[in-house]
Amino acid sequence: MGRIVQAFKSLTTSAYIHGVEQHGWSSFPGRLWQRNRNDGELAAVRDYIAANPLNWLLDPDRPSPL
Q: What is the pLDDT of residues 26-49, one digit of tens each?
A: 998 888 888 777 889 889 989 988
CA distance linking residue 29 with residue 24, whole number of Å: 15
Amino acid at 47: D
Contact 53, 47 (CB under 8 A): no
pLDDT band at 12 (very low <50, low <70, confident <90, very high): very high
Cβ contacts of 13 within 8 Å, gap of 6 or more: 32, 33
Q: Supply the pLDDT for residue 14.
A: 94
CA distance linking residue 14 with residue 7, whole number of Å: 11
Q: Supply the pLDDT for residue 11.
A: 95
